[in-house]
Amino acid sequence: MTPSGFSRIVRPNGLTILIQKKEHGTVSFGIGVRFGSANHGASHLIEHVLFTGTKTRTEEQIRQEATRWGGYHDAYVGFFSTFFVTKNLVVRGYEPLEILCDMIANPSFLPEKIENQRNVTLEEHEKRSSEPETMLMNRIYRTLYCDTPLECAVVDDTGVLNKITRQELVKLYQKHYIPSQLIVVGVGPIDVDRVVEIVDTHFPQKRKQLPETLEVSPEVLEPPSGNIIIPKSGVGQAHMMVGFKTVSRTHPDFYPLRVFSMIIGESTNSRLFRATRGMVGLVYNITSHFDTVRSSRQSVLRADCTAYHGTLRIYSFFKQRKLRRVENTIKEELRKLTESLVPPEELKINQEGVIGKHELGMQGTHQEMRMLFAAEINKSTEEFFNFKEKIRAVTAEDVRRVAQTYCGPNQGVWVTLKPKAHN
pTM over 0.85: yes
Direct distance between the N- and C-terminal alpha carbons of the chain, in angstroms, rounded to an integer: 64
DSSP 8-state code for residue 279: T
Q: What is the pLDDT of residue 362?
A: 87
Q: How many Cβ atoms from other residues are within 10 Å of residue 272's Cβ?
A: 24
- φ, ψ of residue 22 in degrees (nearest 5): -150, 145
* pLDDT score recorded for residue 55: 93
Instruction: Name the CATH topology of 226-419.
Output: Cytochrome Bc1 Complex; Chain A, domain 1 (3.30.830)
Strand-pair category, 226-232 with 413-419: parallel
CA 246 to mean position of chain CA atoms? 16
Task: Round to whole Å and give the CA distance between 83 and 97.
Answer: 13
Each domain of the chain, given as residue ranges in start order, spans 6-202, 226-419
Q: Which of 21, 421, 35, 40 is nearest to 231 (CA)?
A: 421
DSSP for 343-355 reads: PHHHHHHHHHHHH
pLDDT tens for the chain, 423 residues long, are 667 899 999 999 999 999 999 999 999 999 999 999 888 999 999 999 999 999 999 999 999 999 998 999 999 888 889 999 999 999 999 999 999 999 999 999 999 999 999 999 999 888 888 889 989 988 998 898 888 887 877 777 889 999 999 999 999 999 999 999 999 999 999 999 999 999 999 999 776 676 666 655 555 566 778 899 999 888 889 999 999 999 888 889 999 999 999 999 999 999 999 999 987 899 999 999 987 443 333 433 334 444 567 899 999 999 999 999 999 999 999 999 999 999 999 999 999 999 998 898 888 899 999 989 988 988 888 788 899 999 999 999 999 999 999 999 999 999 999 998 755
H helices present in 130-165, as ranges:
132-144, 158-163
Q: What are phi and psi of 196, to 5 degrees?
A: -60, -40
Half-sphere exposure of 403 (CA within 13 A, CB side): 25
Which CATH code fits 6-202? 3.30.830.10
Find, among 246, 189, 95, 187, the residue nearest to 371 by Cα.
187
Say what the pLDDT of residue 215 is.
59
The predicted pLDDT at position 344 comes to 98
Task: In whole angstroms, give the CA distance from residue 83 to residue 415.
Answer: 30
Q: How confident is the model at residue 212, as a pLDDT?
A: 64
Is there a common fold for 6-202 and 226-419?
yes
- Nearest-CA neighbor of 12 among 190, 199, 139, 224? 199
pLDDT of residue 295: 36
What region does 53 belong to: left with phi over 0, alpha with psi -120 to 50, or beta?
Answer: left
